[in-house]
Amino acid sequence: GQQLNQSPQSMFIQEGEDVSMNCTSSSIFNTWLWYKQDPGEGPVLLIALYKAGELTSNGRLTAQFGITRKDSFLNISASIPSDVGIYFCAGRNTGNQFYFGTGTSLTVIP
Amino acid sequence: DGGITQSPKYLFRKEGQNVTLSCEQNLNHDAMYWYRQDPGQGLRLIYYSQIVNDFQKGDIAEGYSVSREKKESFPLTVTSAQKNPTAFYLCASTPGGGSGANVLTFGAGSRLTVL
């Protein structure tokens, strides 16, 4: 199955810095999802995007659905230690199939 | 609270044994999924079910089996035919039915280790 190209693979940042990560696909999606996963736990939904061009915020998180419907990005502003974890993107197509990025591992240095 | 419950959280198995991972949801979701997660890889689909008594193979179904006798339950059996079963297994569900608001809700996962 298709896997999405997610970058960067890992990030080490200072507390207070902003973070940006993105996902690209060779296929069009009608939904983009961003999840956070803590070690040994299941992914938790952060933001869901349903329309091309949509820009949605959830606290310090902002995500956008690319206008080509083949990409999405997630920004985290003013990072804090509890932001540590692995962030996954996921795309859903019209056949209700989901495809996932390989994850971005975020480390926040206090 | 509604959610997905996976059990056991940790499971150890000897080679040649079958094991069954439980997944129960009280979200009244129609569709349920099993994914396998390995380090450095995205989630890979094992099996999914859009409705009771029906399920389809995903990308890596070999060595696995499922059943969907009840809407709220979707157990996964890892058989001895699965060559490399040590992994983190995630169960998920969606409302199904082509709803535009479909997002995947995940359980907390089960870690299977083959000794």
Q: What pLDDT is recorded for position A1?
A: 64
Q: Which residues of A touch B42 (CB under 8 A)?
A: 3-4, 6, 88, 99-103
Q: What is the pLDDT of residue B56?
A: 95
Subunit contact A98:B100, Cβ cutoff 8 A: no
CB A31 within 8 A of CB A49: yes
- Chain B interface with A: residues with Cβ < 8 Å: 4, 6, 31, 33, 40-45, 50, 58-59, 88, 90, 92, 94, 96, 98, 100-109, 111
B22 or A4, which is more confident: B22
Please tell me which residue of chain A has the smallest CA distance to B89: A42
| Number of C-beta neighbours around residue B16 at 10 A | 8
State pLDDT tens for residues B25-52.
999 999 999 999 998 778 999 999 999 9
CA dist B7 and B20 (Å) reads 9
Letter string b/e over residues A45-80, b meaning 16 or more CB atoms within 10 A of that residue's CB = ebbbbbebebebeeeebbbbbbeebbbbbbebeebe
For B61-75, write each residue's pLDDT tens digit: 999 999 999 999 999
**pLDDT the model gives residue B111:** 96
Given a cut of 70, whether residue B99 has pLDDT beyond it is no
Whole-angstrom distance, CA of residue A58 vs CA of residue A41? 21
Query: What pLDDT score does B100 carry?
Result: 59
Tell me which residues of chain A have a pLDDT lower than 70: 1
Q: Is the pLDDT of residue B96 over 80?
A: no
Residue B101 above 70 pLDDT?
no
**Chains A–B, number of C-beta pairs less than 8 Å apart:** 62
